[in-house]
């Protein structure tokens, strides 16, 4: 399977959960209300933050499993899986105990939870502590087929259980359930998912068995994961810290106003990130076989298309921020959170500039560069965010994230190219960035000022979105798509159309 097909398989694994989530959020918000939905967001953020104890052995496992699999070293594969599985069992156990024990303290002392929701919040967190345990096992088991570049299999699991999570949440609230019932159902789904993933691993690795890891395996995984752990801490803080700051310094309603556009952006951009994520195990396998010219070509081409796709999404989200929130989550979000959506979309685009360089740098065994970037960026976001919330309210945290992310993205790109990635930034800019970055920044700036305009009618909104998508497609074909890829794209589109016609007949 080619890298492009692996990327598409991984993309498909995320698109169904993303669509299910986006379709179900309005129903969940309307049933729970802004305050209770804000509390739900806060609970998931707390659970996500407890993943700080995850020392990111997954990253080391993916790197070394892909290398050992490329060389058909079965004994080393068993050692890596056994060591990683034990670590994640302990992480799930310790994290689950921590959430359960501190649930009451978090609800009553740290966050501004309304008095009448204290009991619900505490019980929900305690149930979530058990879900945390199984989620850690699930994360590690899912990383095994991904490290073997079997995204066709892992994508199906992520697609099915991601969609089931959103659908089951909607069913719970439609039948009158609340946060406690939602968390119970999610716990049950995690348990089932773990059992099926364990069966899958035994199927794709029939020789797999428990093996005591030798010193070399432990040292390699520990040293790689030690650096990656700092990236993990920063990533979790970056994803959840803004909401936790709002929960501590503001109220549940502002958490909801910020979380809804944040969810939309993360879901949409997350799909494109899945396209690029396959380059991590691929770069490890190529480096293991000294195929550096192939890796160089893949990196430049992937970056060109990756930036274009992210830029196109950023434009759509920014220009139509009011309409997207108005028709998706309700008029109150369209009027109160449109600027938030523009700022978060711009922030995520700048973050996306570092995604592929970080994955390749990690795949080449240089996680220290990614770690330093992540820690410095997140620390700056949190520090600046604290003061900006105090001064400007919930929009302040969005500005803080945008300013710091853009600065550190440029700094990281300048530093990493020519060091762990043996390509100059000038060459990457000319061959990959130039078609997208400058036009995008100009249009994003304009859309920020336009985010306070009147909401378009739904028919005009649909028409304008369609016109912009057609314009972006034409621009992509004429400017972004490389000449040698145009015949392949034509052939792929023709096969898809021909297949569609055949099915109808």
Q: Residues 305-309: what's their mean pLDDT?
A: 90
Residue spans of alpha helices (H) in 278-337 = 279-288, 292-319, 321-329, 331-336
pLDDT bucket at 498, cuts 50 / 70 / 90: low
pLDDT, position 466? 93
Tell which phi-psi region holds residue 454, choosing left (phi > 0), alpha (psi between -120 and 50) or beta: beta
More confident residue, 425 or 329: 425
Q: Residues 41-51: what's their mean pLDDT?
A: 72
Which range is least confidently modeled, 10-19, 167-176, 297-306? 10-19
Q: Count the Cβ atoms, other than its own, within 10 Å of residue 242.
A: 26
pLDDT at residue 353 above 80? yes
pLDDT bucket at 503, cuts 50 / 70 / 90: very low
pLDDT at residue 305 above 60? yes
pLDDT, position 496? 57
- What is the CA 389 to chain-centroid distance, rounded? 25
pLDDT, position 407? 92
pLDDT at residue 125 above 60? yes
Q: Residues 449-475: what's their mean pLDDT?
A: 85
Which range is least confidently modeled, 122-126, 207-211, 454-458? 207-211
> Distance between CA 28 and CA 18 in Å, rounded?
15
Measuring CA to CA, which residue among 348, 358, 309 is closest to residue 475? 309
Q: Residues 250-266: what's their mean pLDDT?
A: 80
Contact 5, 272 (CB under 8 A): no
Burial of 394 (0-12, 13-18, 19+ CB in 10 A): buried
Phi, psi (5° rounding) for residue 417?
Answer: -75, 130
Q: Please tell me whether the overall predicted TM-score, pTM, comes out greater than 0.85 for this model.
A: no
- Contacts of residue 321, defined as CB under 8 A and 6 or more positions apart, other chains included, come to 261, 338, 339, 341, 342, 345, 447, 451
More confident residue, 282 or 27: 27
pLDDT bucket at 2, cuts 50 / 70 / 90: low
- What is the CA 257 to chain-centroid distance, rounded? 20
Q: Which CA distances in Å does 312 have to 20, 40, 278, 472?
A: 22, 31, 21, 7
pLDDT, position 403? 92
Contact 221, 44 (CB under 8 A): no
Q: Residues 421-440: what's their mean pLDDT?
A: 84
**3-state SS of 19-46?**
HHHHHHHHHHHHHHHHHHHHHHHHHHHH
pLDDT bucket at 459, cuts 50 / 70 / 90: very high
Q: Which CA distances in Å does 469 have to 23, 198, 274, 310, 325?
A: 21, 42, 21, 13, 19
pLDDT at residue 150 above 80? no
pLDDT at residue 256 above 60? yes
Q: Residues 135-144: what's their mean pLDDT?
A: 84
Q: Residues 174-197: what's their mean pLDDT?
A: 88
Measuring CA to CA, which residue among 49, 71, 44, 206 is closest to residue 125? 44
pLDDT, position 62? 75
pLDDT at residue 463 above 90? yes
Q: Enumerate the β-bridge partners of residue 417.
A: 421
Q: Residues 355-373: what's their mean pLDDT?
A: 81
pLDDT, position 51? 61
pLDDT at residue 502 above 60? no
Residue spans of alpha helices (H) in 393-436 = 394-416, 425-428
pLDDT digits (tens, 9 = 90+) for 73-90: 788 888 888 888 888 888
pLDDT, position 501? 46
Q: What is the largest CA-CA distance in the chain?
A: 65
pLDDT, position 504? 46
pLDDT digits (tens, 9 = 90+) for 225-248: 666 666 666 777 777 777 778 777
- % of residues, the chain, pLDDT over 70: 88
- What is the CA 40 to chain-centroid distance, rounded? 19
More confident residue, 99 or 275: 99
Contact 265, 129 (CB under 8 A): no
pLDDT, position 13? 63
- Give me 405's structure tokens: 């992310």
pLDDT, position 54? 59
- Give me 178's structure tokens: 């609340």
The 3-state DSSP class for residue 417 equals strand
pLDDT, position 9? 63
pLDDT bucket at 283, cuts 50 / 70 / 90: confident
DSSP 73-117: -HHHHHHHHHHHHHHHHHHHHHHHHHHHHHHHHIIIIIS---GGG
pLDDT bucket at 28, cuts 50 / 70 / 90: confident
pLDDT at residue 132 above 80? yes
């Amino acid at each position: 399977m080619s890298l492009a097909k692996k990327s598409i398989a991984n993309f498909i694994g995320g698109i169904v959960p993303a669509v299910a989530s986006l379709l179900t959020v309005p129903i969940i918000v309307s049933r729970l209300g802004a305050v209770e939905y804000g509390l739900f967001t806060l609970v998931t953020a707390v659970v996500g933050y407890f993943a700080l104890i995850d020392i990111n052995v997954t990253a080391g496992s993916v790197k070394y499993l892909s290398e050992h699999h490329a060389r058909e070293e079965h004994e080393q594969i068993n050692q890596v899986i056994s060591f990683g599985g034990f670590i994640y069992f302990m992480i799930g156990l310790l994290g689950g105990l921590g959430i359960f024990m501190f649930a009451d303290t978090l609800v009553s002392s740290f966050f501004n939870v309304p008095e009448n929701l204290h009991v619900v919040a505490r019980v929900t967190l305690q149930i979530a502590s058990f879900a945390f345990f199984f989620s850690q096992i699930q994360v590690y088991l899912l990383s095994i087929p991904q490290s073997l570049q079997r995204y066709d299999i892992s994508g199906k699991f992520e697609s099915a259980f991601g969609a089931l999570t959103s659908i089951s949440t909607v069913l719970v609230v439609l039948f009158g359930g609340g946060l406690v019932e939602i968390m119970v159902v999610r716990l049950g789904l995690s348990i089932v998912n773990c059992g099926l993933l364990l069966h899958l691993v035994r199927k794709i690795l029939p020789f797999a068995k428990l093996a005591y890891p030798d010193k070399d395996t432990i040292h390699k995984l520990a040293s790689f994961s030690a650096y990656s752990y700092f990236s993990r801490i920063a990533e979790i803080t970056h994803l959840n810290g803004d909401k936790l700051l709002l929960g501590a310094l503001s109220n549940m309603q502002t958490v909801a106003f910020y979380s809804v556009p944040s969810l939309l952006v993360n879901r949409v951009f997350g799909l494109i990130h899945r396209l690029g994520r396959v380059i991590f195990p691929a770069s490890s396998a190529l480096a293991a076989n000294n195929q550096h010219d192939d890796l160089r070509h893949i990196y430049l081409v992937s970056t060109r298309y990756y930036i274009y796709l992210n830029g196109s999404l950023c434009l759509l989200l920014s220009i139509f921020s009011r309409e997207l929130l108005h028709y998706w989550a309700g008029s109150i979000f369209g009027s109160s959170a449109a600027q938030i959506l523009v700022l978060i979309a711009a922030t995520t685009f700048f973050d996306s500039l570092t995604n592929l360089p970080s994955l390749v740098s990690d795949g080449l065994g240089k996680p220290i560069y990614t770690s330093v970037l992540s820690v410095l960026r997140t620390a700056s976001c949190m520090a600046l965010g604290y003061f900006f919330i105090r001064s400007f309210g919930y929009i302040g945290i969005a500005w803080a994230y945008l300013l710091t992310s853009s600065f550190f993205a440029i700094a990281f790109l300048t530093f990493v190219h020519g060091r762990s990635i043996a390509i100059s930034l000038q060459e990457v800019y000319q061959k990959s960035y130039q078609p997208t970055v400058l036009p995008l920044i100009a249009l994003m700036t304009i859309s920020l000022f336009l985010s306070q305009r009147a909401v378009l009618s739904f028919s005009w909104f649909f028409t304008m979105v369609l016109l912009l998508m057609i314009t972006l497609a034409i621009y992509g074909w004429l400017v972004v798509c490389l000449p040698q890829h145009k015949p392949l794209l034509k052939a792929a589109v023709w096969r898809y159309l021909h297949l569609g016609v055949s099915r109808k007949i």
